[in-house]
Structures are given as structure tokens and as C-alpha cells.
Amino acid sequence: MEETFRPGGLPVLIGSLPLDDHEEAARLVFSHTPDIPLWVQLPTYPEEGMIAQFMPGLPGLSTVGGRRCIDTSAEDFSASLAEFYEDYLAVAEGGADLDGTRFAFAPDTARGFYVFLSHVAALGTPPAALKGQVTGPVTFTTAVKDQAGRAVFYDEQLRDAAVKLLALNARWQVRRMARFGRPVILFIDEPALAGFGSSEFISISKADVTGAVGEVADAVHAEGGMAGIHICANTEWDLIMDTAVDIVNFDAYSYFDRFILYEKAVRRFIEEGRIIAWGIVPTSDAVASETVDSLVSRWEAQARQVQALGFDRSRILAQTLITPSCGTGSLSRDHAVRVLELTRAVSRRLRGE
């Protein structure tokens, strides 16, 4: 991570919006978070769902019974898997260009990314940073299934391929955004980790999580980017802060009381100069009743609990990003715009503007 990057309470968004027009989505982003704009996923398009958008490029990807899956029973699966690793090694070890490979977004499946690049190119004043996102490896590999309906996470070979696909896509994103000469932030979106430790994921170990997340974070770092992780509910935060990420983004509106229980991990995270992205703006129906004053008061009360760990407010704010608690893709348009407005306004108030 670039040690000189201090967001100082700037606002940034989580990837999705409930729109069907990528240009309109980009205009909303650049008007509400011009300092750290991001590319937008529009889940109204099936190919832009957080799982579907990252599936192209997987070895053995097929449609079986109307469902997209990895078909390990296909005659050509072994050849497909071998070809995948050849492509991976050509980039990872041979230095091949990532553009045009299976690890890059195609314009028809990630229109938001290309619209975003065009908007950045047209800016007169460069932003403080640029943000992208990739679906987290645990979320992805527990959602993608083989032809029998078994999550690929539980097949070590398929899991490895899927994680490598995500890692190189993250690397490609950072490389493309870095061409503008600004710091690049890449969030690893891991909603599934809200269930870590539950019966649903009882067979997933801490080493599994840190290894998979670490591989994607390392790919981001290899291109000079900053790796963040977004988890929209509660989890084992000490585990998360022990990974290689530079930024932890959590739902501070609903789960701060759980987050602050991990005092030692939070203290160490801040001491190391890493960044807390406070999801202080709710993306639930509560957004209709909250105000700038109420959310600023909530953040200040939470910050005082972090101050009690041995930090002054200025240090905390320097290492703070302000975000919504989650993406807004499932909200109404009016509520989504309200989330964007509050995120911008809360950030401005905290920064004294």
C-alpha cells in the first residue's frame, strides 16, 4: 500500500446501483464521490450479478439444465483445465499482456468498467484515487457449482483455478486504472464471510479464508494497488484484519458494537497505518429516516470508542473512508440516491467542509 495515501474521511461507494443505464450510473458516481469514483455494476442485467460477472474464463464453464456451472464430466474438461493454467502461467510467470485474455473484462459483460474509464479520461482534475471491485474468493467459490450442484470451493483444483481467475482479474483492473497515474483501490467483496463459523461454512477453515483472500490481495499489491475487503454483516474481524488487506470496510451502522469487540486487532490495524472504511450510511429502509446530523453523531460516538484504544480523532479520521453499509443494487432508485447523498454529506461534515 502507498503509505502516503490518507483518505481523511473521503467518501467512496460499494459497487452496485439499481439502474439500467451505465452512463447515468457513472454520472451519479462522479457527482457524489468525485474524489474516489468507482465503476458500477448494474444487477438489473443478469451478466452483471456479482457471481455471473466473474464466471467467464473459468475452465469447463458450461450450461447444464439451464444453469451455468463447471462441468467436470465433459470430455474436454481436462484439456480446458490445462489450457486455463497455460494462460495463467503465461501472465503470472511469463509477463504476457493481460488485455484480451480470459482474465480481463469483456465490454459486453462489464460495460460499467469501460464507461468508467471513459469518464476518468475526460476529467479535467484527477481524482484522489480510483476504485474497482472483485467478488471475493470465498463468496465466489461457494456460489459457483459443478454439474452436480457441489460448490467448487470443496474441490481443491477447481477452487484454485477460480481464485486465480479472480486474482488476475483484480490485477488487470488495477493495471488499467493505474494508467491514469492515481492510487488505485480494489475492494474484495466478501458477503459470504458474514456466515463464517456458522454451520453452513463449518468445513471452511481460517487458513482457507486467509489463503484465498491473500492471493487476491497479493495480486492487487503486485500492481501497486491497495486491497480492501467489504463484508456487509458481522464476521470474525480479527481473522479479516490478519489478512493482507489495506482497508477493512464494514457495516458500521448496524455492527459497530461487534466490530469494536476485537480491540487488539483494531488497535494493531490502525497502528500499522491501514484504513477503516466505515459503512455508516444504511442501505436498508432506515435510510429514509436518517439525517446527516444523526449519522455524523453516530460516527463520532463510534470514533470515541476507537479513541479509547489510544488514538486521537485526527489520526482516526486520516485513516477513514466513509461508505454506505452495502451496495444499493436492490434498493429503489430514490433510496439509492438518498444513500449517495448522505454518504457525500456525512463525509463533508466530518472533513469540516
State the Cα–Cα distance between residues 241 and 268, nearest whole angstrom: 9
Location of C-alpha cell 464476521: 235
Dihedral sign (CA 179, 183, 185, 186)? positive
Chain centre to alpha carbon of residue 247: 10
Which of 75, 79, 78, 64 minimizes the C-alpha distance to 148? Answer: 64
Fold of 10-54+110-350: TIM Barrel (3.20.20)
C-alpha cell at 178: 493505474
Alpha helices in the chain (DSSP H): 22-32, 77-92, 111-121, 137-143, 156-178, 206-222, 237-241, 252-259, 263-271, 292-307, 313-318, 333-350
Assess contact for 189 and 323: CB atoms under 8 A. Answer: no
* Whole-number pLDDT of residue 2: 43
Domain boundaries, the chain: 10-54+110-350
State the Cα–Cα distance between residues 70 and 145, nearest whole angstrom: 6
* Whole-number pLDDT of residue 1: 41
Q: Is 260 exposed, middle or buried (0-12, 13-18, 19+ CB in 10 A)?
A: middle
How far CA 197 is from CA of 142, 236, 238, in Å, comes to 14, 8, 13
Assess contact for 251 and 279: CB atoms under 8 A. Answer: yes
Which of 320, 312, 314 minimizes the C-alpha distance to 343? Answer: 320
How far CA 72 is from CA of 81, 138, 156, 324, in Å, comes to 9, 20, 13, 39
Assess contact for 163 and 210: CB atoms under 8 A. Answer: no
Buried b (16+ CB within 10 A) or exposed e, 157-171: ebbbbbbbbbbbbbb
Which parts of the chain have pLDDT scores under 50?
1-2
* Whole-number pLDDT of residue 195: 72
Give pTM, 2 decimals.
0.95
Tell me the three state secondary structure of residue 293.
helix
* Whole-number pLDDT of residue 353: 83
Q: Is 86 exposed, middle or buried (0-12, 13-18, 19+ CB in 10 A)?
A: exposed
C-alpha cell at 62: 458450461
* Whole-number pLDDT of residue 141: 97
Residue 78: CB atoms within 10 A of its CB come to: 12
Location of C-alpha cell 504476457: 96
